[in-house]
């Protein structure tokens, strides 16, 4: 078996309302978001006998960063995100991150296809749809950059099929909303990937939890918050839970704990006391969207159009005019507009940031703060923006936008990682990072984008680090190859395999052209 079930331990608690869980799980997952859902399903596929408890502080799954309205990244595949392909000082384009993200998203598509084939997920059109991914720029310098980016990316099999155009008439066909009313004398260009997708991670997460709940040995608890977690001398983790509705407190024991609580992961990592977590801090960033309320405009745009962030702006500020499919309806968003709050979660506390400051991380946090004064200035400017200023930013992508057709929507919270750095004392990072104990008994996921889109790669990496022997076993390796057929074989260097995998996942997920009419029905 994956982990031997813990023997029941009867313990009498002295505090009122406290009790002990007598039949402890093998694994505890904290947070009912896309990461816990992915890890939970993977573990049950690798060992159907494993017992899993999932704890969520809210009353529903996927209500924070995984929710569609809160999630800034829907199907990040590096097709259109210009911040993944920086221009170097010598004028060349670095595509290494784009390749990594694209590879990871292909692994995600494979895992979801495996689950659909097996019947774990049904109706893939409820969580993933085909939609073009477009990069759009204006001005001579930016057009030159996009042309060089296109030339660099199309040398790689992962970006086969990408189109480039600086022809105004052609661009009017690709992105009519973006081109209407635009100055014809301004030089513009775009690239397009027709195999892009829109992913509703909220819907996907809830589908996965629905299946997990029906599996033997899986329990999902809502309104439960982790107050304390501590490892005993036998390596077992003791978690003190509090029910936020009744106030009842429960002790839970498990050999492995995954902290996948989004912005709430950092405080829990700090509480765990593991040496590997010392020195980590977090910088919370809130987000906002302009949401279109005019159905005629929504129907006129059918793509994800990403641009370049303004000079000096952070990667999180990359603007996009984004078609989405949320709750069965097509939506149109523009943003994100950043903001600042001391909360680590949308439904969190204003004291979250202050409570996260400890002796072990105060130096890295101060150093990162001093090195990122421009970010602080940017966030202040964003917070102070008027509705008119937000619409002016929108008009760079939709020149004929009218204020009455848009309303402000609050997005989710993101907590950027701050970590120790020998040279600077502390640095602020904009990706995701897994922090795990040396004994593999606990792991926490920190950070934000591209996050959800690369969940499968992140969880495979976590399993390799925390379950080394099992991961390398013939049994697990065979099963992993079933779940993610290309695992260990980079698609970026295997053109035929890349084509084969994309055809298979496109068929299963109903993304290929022959399935479009079926999905529309």
Alpha carbon of 478 to those of 261, 354, 483: distances in Å? 30, 46, 9
What count of residues does the chain have?
521
**Band of pLDDT at residue 316, cut at 50, 70 and 90:** low
- Whether pLDDT at 497 is above 70: yes
Q: Tens digit of pLDDT for each residue in 165-195?
A: 999 999 999 999 999 999 999 999 999 999 9
Spell out the alpha helix ranges (H) of 161-249.
Answer: 168-174, 176-179, 201-213
- Tokens representing 296 are 């005629």
Nearest Cα neighbor of 280 from 225, 203, 360 is 360
- Tokens representing 434 are 């897994």
**Band of pLDDT at residue 370, cut at 50, 70 and 90:** low
Q: Which residues of 295-327 are buried (b: 16+ CB within 10 A; e: fewer)?
A: eebbeebebbbbbbbeeebbbbbbbbbbbbbbe
Indicate if the alpha-carbon torsion angle 168, 173, 177, 178 is positive or negative: negative
Q: Tens digit of pLDDT for each residue in 429-475?
A: 767 889 999 999 999 998 766 678 999 999 999 999 999 999 999 99
Residue 23, class by beta-carbon neighbours within 10 Å (0-12 exposed, 13-18 middle, 19+ buried)?
exposed
What percentage of the chain exceeds 70 in pLDDT? 86
- Whether pLDDT at 151 is above 90: yes
pTM of the model as a whole: 0.88
Q: What is the largest CA-CA distance in the chain?
A: 78
**Cα torsion for 290, 293, 295, 299, to the nearest 10°?**
0
What percentage of the chain exceeds 90 in pLDDT? 64
Instruction: Report pLDDT for 513.
Output: 65
Spell out the alpha helix ranges (H) of 278-372.
Answer: 295-300, 352-355, 362-371
Rg (CA), the chain: 23
- Tokens representing 35 are 């990461």
Give the residue with greater pLDDT, 76 vs 317: 76
Are the beta carbons of 520 and 186 closer than 8 angstroms? no
- Interatomic CA distance for residues 398 and 360, integer angstroms: 47
Residue 12, class by beta-carbon neighbours within 10 Å (0-12 exposed, 13-18 middle, 19+ buried)?
exposed
Q: Which residues of 192-217 are buried (b: 16+ CB within 10 A; e: fewer)?
A: bbebbbbbbbbbbbbbbbebbeeeeb
Alpha carbon of 448 to those of 161, 249, 417: distances in Å? 29, 31, 8
Partner residues linked to 256 by β-bridges? 27
Nearest Cα neighbor of 163 from 78, 106, 79, 73 is 79
- Interatomic CA distance for residues 208 and 260, integer angstroms: 15
**Band of pLDDT at residue 67, cut at 50, 70 and 90:** confident
- Whether pLDDT at 15 is above 50: no
- Interatomic CA distance for residues 19 and 249, integer angstroms: 6
Number of other residues whose CB lies within 10 A of the CB of residue 367: 20
Are the beta carbons of 263 and 64 closer than 8 angstroms? yes
**Band of pLDDT at residue 295, cut at 50, 70 and 90:** very high
| Contacts with 27 (C-beta within 8 Å, 6 or more apart), sequence order | 3, 40, 43, 50, 51, 52, 53, 254, 255, 256, 257, 258
Are the beta carbons of 224 and 56 closer than 8 angstroms? yes
Provide the 8-state DSSP code for 405.
G
């Amino acid at each position: 078996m994956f982990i031997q079930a813990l023997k029941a331990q009867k313990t009498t608690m002295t505090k009122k309302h406290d009790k002990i869980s007598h039949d402890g799980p093998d694994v505890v997952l904290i947070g009912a978001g896309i990461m816990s859902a992915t890890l939970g399903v993977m573990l049950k596929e690798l060992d159907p006998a494993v017992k899993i408890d999932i704890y969520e502080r809210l009353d529903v799954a996927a209500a924070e960063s995984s929710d569609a309205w809160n999630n800034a990244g829907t199907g990040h595949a590096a097709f259109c995100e210009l911040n993944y392909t920086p221009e170097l000082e010598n004028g060349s384009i670095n595509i290494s991150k784009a390749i990594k993200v694209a590879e990871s998203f292909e692994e995600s598509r494979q895992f979801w296809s495996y689950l659909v084939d097996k019947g774990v997920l049904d109706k893939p059109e409820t969580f993933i749809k085909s939609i073009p991914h477009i990069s759009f720029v204006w001005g001579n310098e930016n057009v030159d950059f996009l042309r060089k980016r296109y030339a660099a990316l199309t040398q790689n099999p992962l970006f086969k099929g990408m189109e480039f155009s600086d022809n105004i008439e052609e661009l009017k066909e690709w992105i009519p909303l973006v081109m209407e009313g635009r100055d014809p004398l301004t030089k513009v260009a775009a690239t397009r990937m027709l195999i892009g997708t829109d992913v509703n991670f909220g819907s996907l997460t809830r589908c996965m939890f629905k299946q997990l709940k029906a599996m033997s040995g899986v329990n999902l608890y809502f309104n439960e918050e982790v107050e304390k977690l501590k490892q005993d001398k036998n390596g077992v983790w003791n978690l003190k839970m509090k029910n936020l509705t009744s106030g009842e407190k429960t002790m839970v024991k498990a050999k492995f704990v995954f902290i996948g609580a989004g912005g709430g992961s950092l405080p829990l990592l700090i509480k765990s006391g593991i040496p590997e977590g010392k020195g980590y801090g977090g910088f919370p960033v809130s987000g906002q969207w302009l949401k279109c309320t005019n159905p005629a405009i929504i129907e006129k745009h059918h793509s994800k159009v990403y641009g370049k962030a303004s000079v000096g702006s952070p990667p999180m500020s990359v603007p996009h005019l984004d078609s989405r499919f949320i709750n069965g309806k097509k939506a149109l968003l523009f943003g994100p507009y950043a903001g600042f709050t001391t909360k680590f979660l949308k439904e969190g506390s204003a004291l979250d940031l202050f409570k996260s400051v400890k002796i072990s991380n105060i130096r890295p946090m101060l150093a990162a703060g001093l090195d990122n004064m421009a970010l602080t200035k940017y966030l202040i400017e964003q917070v102070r923006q008027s509705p008119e200023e937000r619409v002016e930013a929108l008009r760079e992508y939709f020149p004929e936008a009218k204020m009455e057709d848009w309303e402000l929507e609050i997005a989710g919270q993101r907590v950027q990682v701050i970590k120790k750095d020998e040279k600077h004392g502390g640095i602020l990072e904009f990706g995701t990072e897994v922090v795990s104990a040396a004994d593999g008994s606990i792991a926490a996921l920190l950070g934000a984008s591209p996050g959800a889109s690369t969940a499968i790669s992140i969880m495979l990496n976590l399993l390799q680090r925390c379950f080394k022997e099992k991961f390398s076993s013939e049994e697990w390796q065979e099963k992993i190859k079933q779940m993610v057929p290309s695992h260990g074989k980079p698609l970026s260097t295997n053109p035929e395999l890349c084509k084969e995998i994309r055809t298979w996942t496109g068929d299963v997920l109903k993304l290929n052209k022959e399935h479009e009419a079926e999905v529309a029905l």
